Amino acid sequence: MILKVLILVVYFAVLVGIGLYCRKHSTDVNGFVLGGRAVGPWLTAFAYGTSYFSAVVFVGYAGQFGWKYGIAATWAGIGNAVIGSLLAWVILGRRTRIMTQHLDSATMPQFFGRRFNSTPLKIVASAIIFIFLIPYTASLYNGLSRLFGMAFDIDYSVCIILMAVLTAVYVIAGGYMATAINDFIQGIIMLGGISTIIVAVIKSKGGLMTALDGLAQVSDPAVSATPGVFASFFGPDPLNLMFVVILTSLGTWGLPQMVQKFYAIKDEKAIQKGTIISTIFALVVAGGCYFLGGFGRLFSDQIDVVANGYDSVIPTMLQNLSPILIALVVILVLSASMSTLSSLVIASSSTLTIDFLKDQFIKNMSEKKQVLMIRILIVVFIAISSILALIQYKSSITFIAQLMGISWGALAGSFLAPFLYSLYWKKTTKAACWASFIFGSGIMIVDMLVPSILPKIMQSPINCGAIAMLAGLIIVPVVSLFTPKPDPKLVEDAFACYEKETVVTQKTALGDSAK
């Protein structure tokens, strides 16, 4: 116990120290929210990856989908690496960095407002972010409860408060730069931790081949009558597994806290390196989490999913590890959760300040006042999410954790398509953005309140969120073709940034005279 506490104290001291060190980078809005748009490849890639994967993935999703689909759940991790990281960087990275700087936008709502010259569009986008990021933020604490109960003899409420206070301290002090540096440290812990834990768990079951053979012997007539289905390539339910892959992979393209990482990239080299680093990070962390979860049914004699839920799967798999490894697990999940929490509260508070309060309610807000308001709202967001997490813990209410899937679906369903088309297609209209906002958030609210009126396949928040994203990719171009065209001058001004010439060395691009 002394060793576990000592490791935590050192870890927390480093996080707070970095926050205080980075105060010099957070004196204005650009510095506090985007790190001065001068963040290198390693910090950006790790900030992207650690914001992507939290305790929700490690404890919740890995346990749930590993139990449902067996080793085939690894496809979700592969999709996260290829679609959620590699393609996201390749398709969105460079264009997002260029156009957002050209339009002088620091948030996604601000981008929509300036890209389409629409204040109402900006305000509604910020409202969607405010509404749906709060429950997502609250759900981050959920995965920690069982792990802390397993590793420490302290009340989970203490863990919630401790995590909230420490995150608030280093984010408020150092802003985005402190978050990026801490994300790098937390990312190293996540990479080493998940690799070590997988080896330890598989070894406890006799090694990889023995574990796979044991998984092939597991049967569950309620799921599938096919022998060895949990050790098969596509598992017992390929269709619903596909929706999991789409939601957890394609969803990153429309999440404000993820896309905002591209705003802060330093230069072209940072994009190229960041693409590779981010993809490898996702492959190891996400692929490792889902791969580990796929062996959950080997512990079925110790797990009662009906009584304790899917969140009990991963903690049960880890409970017999050595004290050192359990301490590593706690730090791993804390790192994953705190890095995502810091990213969410910066996205939420900056959006509410810049896109909602500034000019609409507080006229002529200075840079200094904006930074102060962002810091105040960080405290507010963390406090609200902590209170929700405590309510859930004390009253055993489960809907907050379930809202995480609805939050993800609503945000990406609303923003993914209009943001993507706005970067590439000049004919994208304001009406198409409205249509995507209304459909994406609306369908997820219906799924939350009255799912029975939807087709059966859409009654699951995961399936509904994935369908909302895919539908947006059709809705935006169709509506754009049948609604008033955007102002040509506005469009040409937005896209002019792509035509600006940049001189590079011949090792980067061959010149006309090259033979």
Return all residues near 315 (Cβ < 8 A) that are at least 6 apart.
59, 146, 147, 149, 150
Is the CB of residue 227 less than 8 Å from the CB of residue 219? yes
39 phi and psi, to 5 degrees? -90, 130
**Cβ count near 511 (within 10 Å):** 8
Q: Whole-number mean pLDDT of the chain? A: 85
CA angle 452, 458, 459 (to 5 degrees): 40
Contact (Cβ atoms closer than 8 angstroms) between residue 166 and residue 12:
yes
pLDDT at 288: 92
Chain segment 228-274, per-residue pLDDT in tens: 888 888 889 999 999 999 999 999 999 988 898 888 888 778 888 99
Please answer whether residues 437 and 125 qualify as being in contact, where contact means their C-beta atoms are separated by less than 8 angstroms: yes
Is residue 371 exposed (0-12), middle (13-18) or buried (19+ Cβ within 10 Å)?
buried
Query: Which among 244, 246, 187 has a CA at the least distance from the CA of 44?
Result: 187
Q: Is pLDDT above 90 for 476?
A: yes
**pLDDT on residue 515:** 43
* Residue (of 379, 332, 378, 324) closest to 351 by Cα position: 378
**295-314 tens-digit pLDDT:** 988 988 888 777 777 777 88
Sequential DSSP letters for 94-132: HHHHHHHHHTT-SSHHHHHHHHTT-HHHHHHHHHHHHHH
Average pLDDT, stretch 141-159? 67
> pLDDT digits over 27-78, tens only?
788 888 777 777 788 888 888 888 888 777 887 788 889 999 999 999 999 9
Q: Domains plus CATH for the chain?
A: 2-396 (1.20.1730.10)
**Do the Cβ atoms of 126 and 326 come closer than 8 Å?**
no
Which residues lie below 8 Å from residue 117, measured CB to CB, with a gap of 6+?
487, 490
- Joined tokens for residue 375: 């810091």
Exposed/middle/buried for residue 474 (C-beta within 10 Å: 0-12, 13-18, 19+) = exposed
- The helix/strand/coil state of 303 is coil
Rounded to whole angstroms, the Cα distance separating 354 from 122 reads 10
Decide: residue 386, CB within 10 A, 0-12 exposed, 13-18 middle, 19+ buried.
buried
Q: How far apart are CA 284 and CA 77, in angstroms?
A: 8
pTM score, whole prediction: 0.88
Residue 404's pLDDT is what? 72
Top pLDDT among 131 and 138 is at: 131
For residue 280, count other CB atoms closer than 10 A to its CB: 16
Straight-line distance from the first to the last Cα atom of the chain, in angstroms, rounded to the nearest whole number: 68
Give tens-digit pLDDT for 84-96.
999 999 999 999 9
d(CA 107, CA 118): 15
